[in-house]
Amino acid sequence: MRSMLFLPVLLLLGCGETPGKPGVPPVHAEPVARESELLRLKLAPEAQHRLGIRLARVGESIAARHRAVAGEIVAPPGTEGGVPIGSANDLRAIGGQQAAADAELARAAAQERLARIALTRAESLVREEAGSIRARDEAAAALATAQAALGAARRQRRLLGPAVADLGAQPVLWVRASVFAGDIGNVRRDGPTQVRALGVAASRPARPVPAPPSANAATGTVDLHYAIDNRDRTFRVGQRVAVDLPLGGQARGLSVPSSAIVRDINGGEWVYRKTAPDTFVRQRIEVASEADGRALLARGLEAGALVVTAGAAELFGTEFGAAH
């Protein structure tokens, strides 16, 4: 039988407060049977008050349908009809192409300057009756050729967009969301979607944008693209994100206030459930969709369960302070 590891008592006492009875700490943490990674937190009433603990019961609600999918931050295409740039391989490839185009542009510019100097000299010699008209015409033709080559080099460079080093500094980036082909018809494209970094509760809106069609035959997904404000440099090109896509119609199910949910660094979603008087246990849930301050649940709780709606983050810190 695997031995249990008993953890030390946690004390949450405010500065200047008088301790309670000796041997009765405000907070006590102990392992949950058969759940070695979780702790059962027992909080004295004064500790609950200090943490601002508030509770609510899980109930049914009706909400707009949403679908959570994986997404990636990509750089907008440099020109209309271009392809968004996202992965490290894309960045390396486009960086190499840009370097070659920059070199060709510099060579073409140098050739154009030399051709212009040659034409100026030929014209001067003709005026001084020291050169031939034929030489002047040849110099003019050479300049025209050099100018055409320079124009082509400039257009080629523009097609490759801004320098790779500047891609992440753009005020607006794109989000590429991968959606199963069978769900494409249900996704609403007439309004914004919500995007958040993995492991972060806060999200921000992103508006749909047209982009060249792309798909992944191996996974059976189709890519949708959205533009997101990134003036604060929150996101970076290549970053993985969660995208909450709005679907048509409504869904009925169990829901909790969004404030009840805590997310770990791996994107796991949890709530703190009151299982006995003054006792709380972290429980894994799965959020189907989230809107207007409420989260519709896919699984994890039953109707009537009591969950912490204020103070959940403080409990999360208390638990990990005890466990580690």
Using the predicted structure, report yes or no on whether residue 280 has a pLDDT greater than 90. Answer: yes
**What total number of domains does the chain contain?**
3
Q: Are residues 75 and 190 in the same domain?
A: yes
pLDDT band for 208, please (50, 70, 90 cuts).
Answer: very high
d(CA 251, CA 272): 25
In sequence order, the 6+-apart residues with CB closer than 8 A to the CB of 28 are 9, 10, 41, 42
- pLDDT score at 28: 60
- pLDDT score at 170: 81
Using the predicted structure, report yes or no on whether residue 35 has a pLDDT greater than 80. Answer: no
Q: Are residues 254 and 239 in the same domain?
A: no
**Highest-pLDDT range among 166-170, 188-192, 260-264, 302-306:** 302-306
- pLDDT score at 14: 40
Q: Are residues 33 and 57 in the same domain?
A: yes
Q: Are residues 153 and 42 in the same domain?
A: no
- pLDDT score at 269: 86
Using the predicted structure, report yes or no on whether residue 180 has a pLDDT greater than 80. Answer: yes
pTM exceeding the 0.75 threshold for the entire prediction: no
- pLDDT score at 19: 47
Q: Are residues 114 and 160 in the same domain?
A: yes
Give the residue among 308, 280, 283, 270 at the shortest CA–CA distance from 10. 280
Q: Are residues 228 and 285 in the same domain?
A: no
Q: Considering 116, 137, 165, which residue would you say is the last residue of a domain?
A: 165
Query: CA angle, 203 as apex, 197 and 204 as ends, to 5°?
Result: 115
Q: Are residues 191 and 71 in the same domain?
A: yes
Q: Are residues 228 and 264 in the same domain?
A: no
Q: Considering 248, 268, 299, which residue would you say is the last residue of a domain?
A: 248
| Residues composing the chain | 324
Q: What percent of the chain has pLDDT over 70?
A: 81
pLDDT band for 58, please (50, 70, 90 cuts).
Answer: very high
Q: Considering 139, 165, 191, which residue would you say is the last residue of a domain?
A: 165
Strand-pairing partners, residue 196, are 242
Q: Are residues 94 and 58 in the same domain?
A: no
- pLDDT score at 141: 95
The helix or strand, by DSSP H or E, that contains position 157, with its residue range, turns out to be helix 133-159
* Averaged pLDDT of the chain: 81
Query: What letters, b where the CB count within 10 A reaches 16 and e where it falls short, cover 212-235?
Result: eeeeeeeeebbbbbbbbebeeebb
The helix or strand, by DSSP H or E, that contains position 109, with its residue range, turns out to be helix 88-127
The answer to whether 172 and 227 have CB atoms below 8 angstroms apart is yes
Q: Are residues 241 and 176 in the same domain?
A: yes
Look at residue 211 and tell me if it is in a domain.
yes
CATH number, domain of 232, equals 2.40.30.170
Q: Which domain holds residue 191?
A: 67-79+167-248
CATH number, domain of 308, equals 2.40.420.20
The letter for the amino acid at 280 is F
* Distances, alpha carbon 204 to alpha carbons 76, 231, 291, 292, in Å: 18, 12, 12, 13
Q: Are residues 43 and 151 in the same domain?
A: no
> pLDDT for 182-202, tens place per residue?
778 888 888 889 999 887 778
Q: Are residues 114 and 215 in the same domain?
A: no
Strand-pairing partners, residue 29, are 41
Q: What percent of the chain has pLDDT over 90?
A: 37
